[in-house]
Amino acid sequence: MSTSSGAPFSNIGVPGAYEYFPLNSPDIGTVREGNEQIPLLFKPLTIKGIEFKNRIFVSPMCQYSADNGHATDWHFVHLGGFATRGVGAICIEATAVVPEGRISPEDLGLWTDSQIAPLKKIVEFSHAQGTKIGIQLAHAGRKASVHAPWVRDRTGRGRFDTAPEEAGGWPNAVFGPSDIPFADSYPAPKALTERGLLDIENAFVASIERCKEIGFDFVEIHGAHGYLLHSFVSPLSNNRTDIWGGQSLENRLRFFLRIIKRVREAWAGKPLFVRISAADWAEGPEKDDNGVWKQWGIEQSTILVGKLRELGIDLLDCSSGGNWVKQKFTLVPGYQVPYAEVLKKAYPNQLVGAVGLITEPNQAEEILQKNQADVVFLGRELLRDPHWAMKAAKDLNVKVKTANQYERAWPSLL
């Protein structure tokens, strides 16, 4: 054995990395040779020529830790830790394409070139560990300018949600499809004008150009959780009377689809994911007996996904809720998976990601085996256990590559 320099038995470094990192070969989280049966969870998936080594994806999770939209060392440590622990892909948290599109004053952004460098370092580190990484581009819409959740918890959630100007907020510059606030404690939004809509479209495209420079493997567009795109498609939050809303489903879908069309054109040839909320979780039916749409639900989501497919999206990240402050649902393991399953059955050739209280390896494997989804996105469970992929390999009795530096912790996987 030798390194590229010819020295025998050396601790070989990653070729071309910006500093020395021991080379892990094969990539961390890759199934080792000699396994008789490989669980679907650890089978590679190729999208647009990019191979994801397994199907354990890190959900975008807001950290409320950015400095004027810039990633900090918190993000580097937080995301870098996943890159070294065997996941198939990392999706960086909701990242605003304009300053007023942030959820909180401490959210990530990608509206200016100075925000490129700290993200690029995270991407280069992730690639040096053999892990694919992408970013979720977003606009918070009417749910913008609110405090980080722990600030709200301390002051009384529901009473002081809005972040005022003295706390870095912009409550007088919050925009949505209509002037309907998410809740009484949230800012009162202004209805977007035609000029405002076009400015946001252009901002998404400008952020895509920065994504190219950063080197992301994929981009996800956030169309869920009551943020701007979701609020446009739901009749609960969109009562416009022009071509962008109202009772007409075609009108309510128009802005969402225009954003995706522009993004798909700009992000040509690389994987494009879209996250949607499949339902509002409001009381009553999705449509009444007279055919009037009352809230957003799976019937309209199925239509939307068909149109997204026509525009060339590669993976649908299926979530739910977030647009109705009085939403009601029961938190049980995999509570959102049925929506993913419906959409997968409607479009068998569409790659679908499942989310929502997926915590156990056998549960994740069963979702894939039942063809309810093609990948699983994990959030809070990975916060609790960043080594979840290694735990999954052990539970599913498959030997995978651990980081050289962590091998002593996982002797059963060697």
Q: Kindly write down the DSSP assignment for every residue of 264-279, as one continuous string.
A: HHHTTTS-EEEEEES-
**Active-site entry in 64, 186, 227, 339:** 227
Closest alpha carbon to 226 in 176, 184, 185: 176
Distances (CA, A) of 259 to 68, 202, 254, 314: 25, 9, 9, 15
Q: Is 347 a catalytic residue?
A: no
User: Could you tell me if 303 and 336 are in contact, meaning their C-beta atoms sit under 8 angstroms apart?
Assistant: no
Q: How many residues does the chain have?
A: 414
List, in order, residues 6 or more apart from 190 with CB less than 8 Å away.
173, 174, 175, 176, 179
Question: What is the rounded radius of gyration, in angstroms, for the C-alpha atoms of the chain?
Answer: 22
Query: Cα separation of 96 and 99, whole Å?
Result: 7
Query: Cα separation of 60 and 207, whole Å?
Result: 17
Three-state SS at 376: strand
User: Could you tell me if 258 and 319 are in contact, meaning their C-beta atoms sit under 8 angstroms apart?
Assistant: no
Which amino acids are annotated catalytic? 227
